[in-house]
């Protein structure tokens, strides 16, 4: 059985707390992967202090030299891709195919960020005065806290850590407590790639204690967070009095709008993939299908047939389509929302309970679930469930579809299914989400394309792509006067 420890100042640290948390395979709770030593508040503080000590020289390392280390980390991730994918499946539960996909995305992100190290450019701007000009340079903040969830425990940490480091910040990385194995392996890889001690530190511990202590440290100048809206907004409020920069990617309640003229089989397949893929544990998962009345019976019949066709099981079995919920807490939350949906009057068409049978009884499996006749006031229409649960809304026309789609505090992703070019562009104009997809699932994204949401989903600059360094850098503006004389006239 493995022991997972924090990594502080280039050393793996035995915590003095004496407190541990088991790392359990959610597909088979008898499979104990290891034990995490939970860091104390002092240990979390120490991680920030060593990151602060390392900042001065890391900031002065030329960006392309920083990028070379990040590029090596990408190569090491590629060399260890299959091992990382297996660890990911075992501790998080997603299928091995999904895990390999996450690794591919993560490696692409790290490669992209390595390239960005050679593009940390600024502007030169002519002055209105003769023999004067101005230019801009990008500078790091200092110590950045990267606080990450369990659902993409490889991709999300690296899409924060890689740009933060390329920009010249040092990092304290606090992953979710239930995915320590991937966090430890990633930290080893970045360290092996050649980061100096203290530049990347890993703190394994609870959010409310270790996470809280990191955030309270005055040396932390920026926080990049992905997780629930509740925690993200709490963190924002906690650090706001110190003027700390916050980037947060939080909840979603992503709609697909299915219009009458769509390719129905495409709409059904894409909705099923978006709703049930990765067990619904994606911030971009499809949770609402908003369907024009006249085609709703056909949509519902087909989506239920598709929901029933998936094989549930251990993600390491290549015949498995859908893995378990990540842990008991998440499993209970999904079942609780299914009860709430029933009580609120939604019509349960399939699923709605714990999955049982061979290979399922020892894991946190929930049957893919479809509710019909959901209305916008119901809790299952408004709150993020993070499980394989789809709510179908029946609407009379395009305008009602848009009203329902936008009736949400969240605004991450969305899709429309139609072949009518006018409706596609009306949808793009009117939909209130940070990302939208035409005739494809709400999920997915690419390393070189910005990712993020609006409303209560997103705070701060977009992650990834051309915007990936924005959050991690400050702009310094430099005025150069080479006249050698004092300025004439009125100054302003
Ligand atoms: P999830 O449902 O994905 O677990 P959370 O928002 O609860 O979402 O957690 C996301 C991350 O935030 C995890 O790493 C968790 O430990 C951390 N976290 C939770 N509460 C706090 C807190 N008060 N301060 C700092 N980090 C926290």
- Reply yes or no on whether 283 is catalytic: yes
Spatial contact of 445 and 239, defined as CB atoms under 8 Å apart: no
User: In this predicted structure, what is the pLDDT of residue 331?
Assistant: 98
- Reply yes or no on whether 113 is catalytic: no
Of 49, 249, 383, 463, the catalytic one is 249
Residue nearest (by alpha carbon) to ligand 1 atom 18: 207
Tell me the CA–centroid distance for residue 281 and ligand 1, in Å.
15
Residue nearest (by alpha carbon) to ligand 1 atom 14: 176
- Smallest Cα–Cα separation from 109: which of 448, 475, 444? 448
10-residue averages of pLDDT along the chain (492 residues): 97 97 98 98 98 98 98 98 98 98 98 98 96 98 98 98 98 98 98 98 98 98 98 98 98 98 98 98 98 98 98 98 98 98 98 97 98 98 98 98 98 98 98 98 96 97 96 98 88 65
Q: Check pocket membership of 211 for ligand 1, CB cut-off 6 A.
A: yes
What is the C-alpha to C-alpha distance for residues 156 and 41, in angstroms, rounded to an integer? 24
Spatial contact of 168 and 139, defined as CB atoms under 8 Å apart: yes
Tokens of 50: 């060593």
DSSP-derived letter for residue 210 is I
What is the C-alpha to C-alpha distance for residues 132 and 123, in angstroms, rounded to an integer? 14
User: In this predicted structure, what is the pLDDT of residue 487?
Assistant: 86
Q: Check pocket membership of 217 for ligand 1, CB cut-off 6 A.
A: no
- Smallest Cα–Cα separation from 77: which of 98, 97, 100? 100
* β-pair type (410-411, 454-455): antiparallel
Q: Return phi, psi of residue 247, to 5°.
A: -120, 125
Q: Which residue has the tokens 């050679």?
A: 118
Name the residue of 47, 150, 175, 227 to mutate for ligand 1: max ligand atoms within 8 A of Cβ: 227
User: In this predicted structure, what is the pLDDT of residue 488?
Assistant: 79
Residue 136: Cβ-neighbour burial (10 angstroms; 0-12, 13-18, 19+)? middle
What is the C-alpha to C-alpha distance for residues 91 and 105, in angstroms, rounded to an integer? 19
User: In this predicted structure, what is the pLDDT of residue 234?
Assistant: 98
Q: How far does CA 365 lie from the centroid of its chain?
A: 23
DSSP H helices, 93-219, are 96-116, 155-166, 180-192, 212-216
Residues 6+ apart with CB under 8 A from 352: 338, 342, 367, 369
3-class SS at 455? strand
DSSP string over 349-405: EE--SB--STTTTTS--B--EEEES--TTSHHHHS---SSEEEEEEESSHHHHHHHH
User: In this predicted structure, what is the pLDDT of residue 325?
Assistant: 98
3-class SS at 469? coil
Q: Return phi, psi of residue 284, to 5°.
A: -95, 10
Spatial contact of 134 and 475, defined as CB atoms under 8 Å apart: no
Name the residue of 177, 207, 326, 383 to mutate for ligand 1: max ligand atoms within 8 A of Cβ: 207
3-class SS at 175? coil
- Smallest Cα–Cα separation from 259: which of 381, 373, 400? 400
What is the C-alpha to C-alpha distance for residues 225 and 201, in angstroms, rounded to an integer? 16
Residues 6+ apart with CB under 8 A from 329: none
Q: How far does CA 238 lie from the centroid of its chain?
A: 21
Spatial contact of 3 and 10, defined as CB atoms under 8 Å apart: no
């Amino acid at each position: 059985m493995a022991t997972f420890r924090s990594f502080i100042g280039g050393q793996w640290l035995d915590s003095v707390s004496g407190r541990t948390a088991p790392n359990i395979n959610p597909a088979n709770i008898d499979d104990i992967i290891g034990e995490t030593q939970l860091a104390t508040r002092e240990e979390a503080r120490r991680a920030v202090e060593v990151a602060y000590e390392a900042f001065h020289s890391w900031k002065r390392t030329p960006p392309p030299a920083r990028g070379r280390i990040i590029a090596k980390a990408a190569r090491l991730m590629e060399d260890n891709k299959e091992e990382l994918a297996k660890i990911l499946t075992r501790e998080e539960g997603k299928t091995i195919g999904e895990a390999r996909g996450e690794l591919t995305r993560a490696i692409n992100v790290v490669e992209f960020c390595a390239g960005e190290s050679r593009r940390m450019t600024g502007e030169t701007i002519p002055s209105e005065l003769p023999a004067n000009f101005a230019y801009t340079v990008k500078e790091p903040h200092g110590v950045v806290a990267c606080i990450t969830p369990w659902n993409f425990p490889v991709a999300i940490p690296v899409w924060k850590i890689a740009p933060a480091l390329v920009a010249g910040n040092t990092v304290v990385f606090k992953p979710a407590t239930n995915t320590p194995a991937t966090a430890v392996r990633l930290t080893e890889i970045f360290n092996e790639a050649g980061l100096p001690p203290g530049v990347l530190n890993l703190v394994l511990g609870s959010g409310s204690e270790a996470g809280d202590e990191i955030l309270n440290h005055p040396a932390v100048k920026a926080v990049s967070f992905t997780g629930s809206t509740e925690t993200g907004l709490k963190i924002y409020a906690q650090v706001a009095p110190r003027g700390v920069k916050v980037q947060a990617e939080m909840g979603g309640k992503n709609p697909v709008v299915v219009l009458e003229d769509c390719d129905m089989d495409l709409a059904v397949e894409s909705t099923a993939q978006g709703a049930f893929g990765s067990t619904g544990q994606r911030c971009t998962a499809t949770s609402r299908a908003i369907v024009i009345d006249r085609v709703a019976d056909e949509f519902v019949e087909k989506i239920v047939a598709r929901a029933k066709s998936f094989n549930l099981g251990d993600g390491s079995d290549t015949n498995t389509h859908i893995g378990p919920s990540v842990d008991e807490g998440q499993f209970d939350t999904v079942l609780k929302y299914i009860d709430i949906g029933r009580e609120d009057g939604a019509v349960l068409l399939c699923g709605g309970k714990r999955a049982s049978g061979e290979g399922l009884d020892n894991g946190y499996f929930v049957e893919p679930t479809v509710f019909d006749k959901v209305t916008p006031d119901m809790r299952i229409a408004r709150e993020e469930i993070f499980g394989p649960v789809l709510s179908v809304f029946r609407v009379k026309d395009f305008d009602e579809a848009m009203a329902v789609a936008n009736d949400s505090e969240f605004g991450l992703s969305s899709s429309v299914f139609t072949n009518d070019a006018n409706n596609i562009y009306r949808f793009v104009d009117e939909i209130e989400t940070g990302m939208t997809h035409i005739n494809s699932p709400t999920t997915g994204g690419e390393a070189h394309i910005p990712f993020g949401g609006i409303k209560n989903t997103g705070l701060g600059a977009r992650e990834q792509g051309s915007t990936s360094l924005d959050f991690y850098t400050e702009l310094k503006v430099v005025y150069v006067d080479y006249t050698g004389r004092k300025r004439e006239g009125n100054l302003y």
